[in-house]
Amino acid sequence: MVTLYINNLRVSVEEGTTILEAARFLGFPIPTLCYMDGLSPYGACRLCVVEIGEGPKARLVSSCTYPVEEGLRVRTASSKVVKARKLILELLLASCPQSKTLQDLASAHQVRQVRFRQEHEDCILCGLCVRMCEEQMMAKAIGFHGRGEKRGINTPFDKKSETCRLCGGCIYVCPACSLRCTYTEPDKAICGGCANLAPPCVEKDQFDDMMCYMEPCVACEIKKD
């Protein structure tokens, strides 16, 4: 067992657990985006930052990848952490302003404006889909390619993959694909269904209403009736 202090509370957890797991177990909320139970932690989104150490040695680390240490002092919601989290959300939102997941997270953390140029990317490179495909679906059909600003996620050679079973797991976990539903007219932001769904590795036509992985919003439900 390892003894550490989370928000000044002395706790003992098993060796090998991460700060995130320990904090969540004890009921301290830490927001996450690229973390998912059942998938290996990746530390890409940095949303789960916490402050460790004290005084001049205090620093921010991603709690989902940081294993607990003896005597470690962790603060999950210090002003430094909150400020960093808001900035990270602002940056993520600037690259994917359409993402409902990001919008909800930003709203929950009082991010009221985005000061950066909006990019309208369709991917934040969180790697959830890649890990889902490899670790849960045992397929390894998609992966990262390129580097720097050319980095992206796709099937090899941008071709339909032989190993892909069209399970849709990648779309299910994607925080960027889950766009706020706008049906066929993006300017009229009223939900109409899943017409905007464009998974990266398959043709759009193959997904009809039945295969939609987006959760319908209330407006959509009303309109359908």
Partner 1 sequence: MATDGDTALTKKGGSDMGELISTLEEIQAKYSYLPEEVLREVARKTGRSLVDIYGVATFYRAFSLEPRGKHLISVCLGTACHVRGGAAIAQEIQQQLGIKAGETTEDKEFTLETVNCLGACALGPVIVVDGHYFPGVKTSMVSDIIERARTGLDKIEIETDQRVFPLEVSCARCNHSLMDPRHVIDGHPPVRVTVSFGTKHGWLMLSSLYGSQEVSSEYEIPPDTIVHMFCPHCHAELIGGARCGECDAPMVPMIVRGGGVVQICSRRGCKGHMLDLGGVTLD
The site for partner 1 (CB under 8 A) is made up of: 140-147, 155-157, 163
Nearest residue (CB) to partner 1, 34 versus 141: 141
Considering the complex, what minimum distance in angstroms separates the CB of residue 9 from partner 1? 42
User: Measuring CA to CA, which residue among 218, 208, 225, 152 is closest to residue 180?
Assistant: 218
Tokens 């769904």: give the residue: 197
Query: 20 Cβ partners below 8 Å, 6+ apart?
Result: 30, 32, 35, 41, 48, 63, 64, 66
8-state DSSP, 115: -
Phi, psi of 136 (to 5 degrees): -100, -40
Q: Which is nearer to partner 1, 105 or 133 (CB)?
A: 133
CB of residue 136 to partner 1, shortest distance in Å: 15
| Shortest reach from residue 165's CB to partner 1, in Å | 15
SS percent in the chain: helix, strand, coil, step 5: 30, 15, 55
- Give 43 or 216: the residue with its C-beta nearer to partner 1: 43
CB of 202: closest distance to partner 1 in angstroms? 16
Nearer to partner 1, 143 or 200 (CB): 143
Smallest gap from residue 155 Cβ to partner 1 (A):
8
Nearer Cβ to partner 1 (1/138): 138
What are the structure tokens assigned to 32, written together?
């996450």
At 15, which amino acid appears? E
